[in-house]
Amino acid sequence: MALLEVKDLEVEFPLGRITLQAIRKVSFSLEKGERLGIVGESGAGKSVAAFSILNLLSRPGRISGGEILFEGDDISKFDDRQMRSIRGNRISMIFQDPMMTLNPVLTVATQMIECLKAHRKISKKEAWDISVSKLKEVMIPSPEERMESYPHELSGGMRQRVVIAMALLTDPEIIIADEPTTALDVTIQAEIMVLMLDLCKSNNVGLILITHDLAVVSQVTERIMVMYAGRVVEEGGTKEVITNPKHPYTRGLLKALPQENTAGSRLNQIRGTMPSLNALPKGCAFNPRCDFATKECHQVVPKLEGRDGHNTACIHLEKIPSFKSELGNQ
Amino acid sequence: MGKPHSEVSGAKIMTRIKSFLNSDFVYRFRKDKVAVVSLGIVLVLVLSAVLAPLISPFDPYDLKSIDIMDSEIPPVWDENDGDERFLLGTDPQGRDMLSTILYGMRISLMIGFFAVLLQGILGVTIGLLSGYLGGKIDAFFMRLADIQLSFSTLMVAIITLAIFQAAFGAELYSKLAIFMLILVIGIAEWPQYARTVRASVLAEKHKEYVDAARVIGMSPARIMFRHIFPNTLSPILVISTIQVANAIISEAALSFLGLGMPVNQPSLGSLISSGFEYIFSGSWWITVIPSFFLVLLILSINLLGDWLRDALNPKLYKD
């Protein structure tokens, strides 16, 4: 049995008379120690999916269907008290901007000890020692002094390390990282990603990495899930999907990477923008932006199908040339 | 092994103090002459009120030391009738004005401080609940606050105190006066705090650190009081100074109307009131001197509050 299994998850936001479907029939699973990447443009529903796992959707958002099984229990039906024993304890989350996620008026020590004390019955001294050891684990120099610091006294990279240390405090089984490196500069990004990868491997922690940075995903994760307009359009082993993407959207994303272009030429982009949730096109939501779209695409919602764990939601898979030959033609 | 937070050594506290003295906050305070003078006056007044039993020349509560023959002696600078025993003269009962003022200020400040503490506890709790939980709870408390604010504090206080006095008699009232005043002024003014706190909670609760705290699995109460509350402290600090001044004024007004502190245990307000009937017979000092102290105290507290508001609001930096 998988550690976390999400089945046919549906999330909707009722707004007055209309109801927006942010997530439509999304299913995925995560084994212990596995690293899954969720990629997609802004508004594809990545963050909403992550928040719904912890049942922390902001109002009026709600889970309208499906199951979220954590060790076999459907945690989407848990009440607040039961949920609190899972949040931060067995599933932690790391946010985008470490400047915002740390409370500006409390010291690192206060915040870490608070977090531990919310879940464990331990003394302040024990909590202090655990916190210091976790700060050491994320390679923060002189952790005892840093414990007394306020967030504004730390650099961006340092803050994100503190946030990661806080996520690891209670030795969770799963960490959900929502664009953990977006707010950092590029050199620090790599450091933090390597650190997270090492920590996940050494502690056997499952990681759900939400990002739009394909380079990061390809370095860190084992499996990848591409989302578009609330649906999964392609999923599979990271290496397989990156080298042999089948869905036109995944291809578009990969082609848009600067390293796929010859120097000096115009950068590739997927034309158009993500459709608004209240005006999704009929059929395949990607059809207005797709080079291969036909009449059929406007009628049928493609199913996620495929072989060897590499699934794609597109009805024209046979017609579309392989990714390598397409790149060669340019 | 690490030292827990509580065992911070003396040296560390010294460096904390030093870094506070070197901070921007203190620097800007030093540059503002009005603020420095106000703080000086407030400190002197508060200290002399707190230390009244030690520094005042007489004990105005000690009936044995009071001689009715000493009544209505003008301050020492009156060359004809001044008595050097009584620096600021005496009141109609022969009490030394300076001592009575010091003791009276003690009572006024105490009422001001505790009434604000009560307002604060009520207001902050209600404000946090309203702001964080929202919905029906928010609507209920805020409408309650609206209703409360549509009555003036003095009106509520006068009605309550008058009913109490009529129902339980003046003797019991004079014993409980100080608690009653704290209670009435404290309860009448909670909406000020509740509204301010609610407004800052609404701004704070959508910040990511609140999400992060929820993700950590903290209970709503813990998030409200341990995480959001410290972030709303600066507006609370500012209104607290103003509210202390307001509470002292309210107390003085009530005492002046005869609903405050009894004459044998006078606050600044009841002193002013007790001297009022003698003002036309020439004994002006019984009213004017306590009034001067009251005005000085309120003015300095308000100026200090003004400065604090400017200092804690980075958008208002003048230079």
- pLDDT band for B235, please (50, 70, 90 cuts): confident
Distance, in angstroms, between A285 CA and closest chain B CA? Answer: 31
- pLDDT band for B314, please (50, 70, 90 cuts): low
Instruction: Give the tens place of pLDDT for each residue, A189-200.
Output: 888 888 889 988
Nearest to B215 among A88, A106, A113 (CB): A88
pLDDT at B2 over 50: no
Domain count along chain B: 1
- pLDDT band for A155, please (50, 70, 90 cuts): confident
Is residue B125 in some structural domain?
A: yes
Distance of CA B31 to the CA centre of its chain: 26
pLDDT at A280 over 90: no
- The domain limits of chain A are 101-169, 245-329
The stretch A146-170 carries a mean pLDDT of: 88
| Nearest CA-CA partner of A194 in A147, A153, A155, A157 | A157
Distance, in angstroms, between B109 CA and closest chain A CA? Answer: 30
User: Any idea which residue has 């739009």 for tokens?
Assistant: A212
- CB proximity list for B309: less than 8 A, separation 6 or greater: B238, B316
- CB proximity list for A110: less than 8 A, separation 6 or greater: B5
Q: Does B16 touch chain A (CB under 8 A)?
A: no
pLDDT at B8 over 80: no
Distance separating alpha carbons of residues A238 and A253, to the nearest angstrom: 14
The stretch A231-239 carries a mean pLDDT of: 90
Query: Which chain A residue's Cα is nearest to B204?
Result: A103
| Nearest CA-CA partner of A180 in A203, A196, A202 | A196
Nearest to A102 among B3, B209, B217 (CB): B209
Q: Does B226 touch chain A (CB under 8 A)?
A: yes
Query: Which chain B residue's Cα is nearest to A51?
Result: B215
Is residue B60 in some structural domain?
A: yes
Instruction: Give the tens place of pLDDT for each residue, B192-202.
Output: 899 999 999 99
Least confident of A147-151, B79-83, B94-98, B231-235: B79-83
Between chains, do A56 and B233 touch, taking CB under 8 Å as contact? no
Distance, in angstroms, between B311 CA and closest chain A CA? Answer: 17
Question: pTM for this structure?
Answer: 0.76
Q: How would you classify the pairing of strands A73-74 and A310-312? A: unpaired
| Between A201 and A272, the higher pLDDT residue | A201
The pLDDT mean for chain A works out to 86
Task: Tell me if the bond preceding B266 is cis, omega within 30° of 0.
Answer: no
Is residue B75 in some structural domain?
A: yes
Distance, in angstroms, between B222 CA and closest chain A CA? Answer: 9
Residue A326: the pLDDT is: 67
DSSP category for residue A283: S
Is residue B27 in some structural domain?
A: no
Is residue B41 in some structural domain?
A: no
Q: What is the CATH number of the domain that holds B137?
A: 1.10.3720.10
Is residue B147 in some structural domain?
A: yes
Least confident of A186-200, B142-156, B261-275: B261-275
Half-sphere exposure of A16 (CA within 13 A, CB side): 1
Distance separating alpha carbons of residues B148 and A47, to the nearest angstrom: 43
Cα dihedral B20→B24→B25→B26 (10° resolution):
60
Nearest to A109 among B5, B207, B222 (CB): B5
Question: What does the radius of gyration of chain B's CA atoms come to, in whole angstroms?
Answer: 23
- pLDDT band for A287, please (50, 70, 90 cuts): confident
| Chain A contact set for B216 (CB, 8 A) | 87-88, 92, 114-115, 118, 166
| Chain B contact set for A106 (CB, 8 A) | 226-227, 230
Between chains, do B209 and A104 touch, taking CB under 8 Å as contact? yes
Is residue B312 in some structural domain?
A: yes
pLDDT at B142 over 90: yes
Between chains, do A118 and B217 touch, taking CB under 8 Å as contact? yes
- CB proximity list for A323: less than 8 A, separation 6 or greater: A243, A244, A245, A246, A251, A254
Between chains, do A144 and B207 touch, taking CB under 8 Å as contact? no
Query: Which chain A residue's Cα is nearest to B233?
Result: A105
Distance, in angstroms, between B308 CA and closest chain A CA? Answer: 18
Q: What domain range is B152 assigned to?
A: 52-316
Q: Does B69 touch chain A (CB under 8 A)?
A: no
Between chains, do A128 and B5 touch, taking CB under 8 Å as contact? yes
Query: Which chain B residue's Cα is nearest to A84?
Result: B217
Residue B193: the pLDDT is: 92
Q: Report how far apart, in Å, the C-alpha atoms of A126 and of each of B85, B141, B286 are.
A: 64, 41, 63
In chain B, the percentage of residues whose pLDDT exceeds 70 is 93
- pLDDT band for B140, please (50, 70, 90 cuts): very high
| Chain A contact set for B214 (CB, 8 A) | 56, 87
Is residue B200 in some structural domain?
A: yes
Residue B311: the pLDDT is: 82
- pLDDT band for B3, please (50, 70, 90 cuts): very low
Instruction: Give the tens place of pLDDT for each residue, B112-123.
Output: 999 999 999 999
Instruction: Give the tens place of pLDDT for each residue, A74-91.
Output: 888 888 888 888 888 899
Q: CA quadruple B274, B275, B277, B281: dihedral positive or negative?
A: positive
The stretch B42-70 carries a mean pLDDT of: 81
Query: Which chain A residue's Cα is nearest to B219?
Result: A84
